[in-house]
Each structure stands twice: as structure tokens, then as C-alpha cells.
Amino acid sequence: MMDLAPGAVAVIFTSVRRGDASTRLAADADAYGDMAEAMAKLAAEQPGFLGMESVRDPVSLRGITVSYWADDPSARSWKQVSEHLVAQRRGREEWYEEYSVVVAEVTRAYRHPAE
């Protein structure tokens, strides 16, 4: 986790992929992985981007990605980037059985071990 100042924003995206690990097509998994990688790179180029963390359980296909932004306008701007809009649409239509998004303002953040 990076240093986050009060007022930063965390966008918490949780999802469940469609299908199961044994029935998903390799091409679909590749397309999904390619899109996820492209979105991570594109997000990192956006004004106000602070960082991202992501994990997915290969058995349950549940995943969580948290992106961190300097402020709410930065997070809102990312949601409207044209390539991200395409990824969102494909997610709804092709990849996700369900998902949720929570946008939260940071009031404090700390870690262990402290640097």
C-alpha cells in the first residue's frame, strides 16, 4: 500500500467472473487478462492516480481491485475515460456474473512494518 493522505479516494471493485475455472475458454481468459493489464497501465497514466492493488481467487473467481486516487474528481474522471468505458461494457456483457463498486474517502492509512 502506498502512502495515502486524508481526502484520498479508494475505489473498491469486487467481482465474480462468469463460469468456472474449468469451463472458461482460454481465449476468454486471455482477453480478460489483456484488458485488465491494459486498464492498469492506462489508469497509471491518469491525473490523480496513486496506485492499485488487485487479487483474484482462481477457484471461486471472486476478485477485488482497489484503485487509489488523489481526490474524488480524479476517480470520477477515470470512470469516463473512453477505453475504460469499453472495458466496463465488456465486463457487464461478457466477464462478470456480478460486481460492485464502493467509493470511499480515506480518513487515515497506516501499514506494518512502517517505512
Q: Please name each of the domains of the chain with its CATH number.
A: 9-105 (3.30.70.100)
User: Are 45 and 109 a contacting pair, CB within 8 Å?
Assistant: no
Percent of the chain with pLDDT over 90: 70
Q: What is the pLDDT of residue 24?
A: 55
Percent of the chain with pLDDT over 70: 90
Q: What is the pLDDT of residue 23?
A: 57
pLDDT at 15 over 80: yes
Counting every residue written for the chain, the total comes to 115
pTM for this one? 0.87
pLDDT at 91 over 80: yes
- Residue owning grid cell 483474484: 56
pLDDT, tens only, 16-49: 998 765 555 554 677 888 999 999 999 999 999 9
Residue 41, helix vs strand vs coil: helix
pLDDT, tens only, 2-13: 789 999 999 999
The alpha carbon dihedral of 49, 44, 36, 61 has a sign of negative
Cell of residue 91, nine digits: 465486463
Amino acid at 75: A
C-alpha distances (whole Å) from 14 to each of 21, 45, 66, 73 are: 18, 22, 9, 21
For residue 66, which phi and psi values (nearest 5 degrees)?
-115, 120
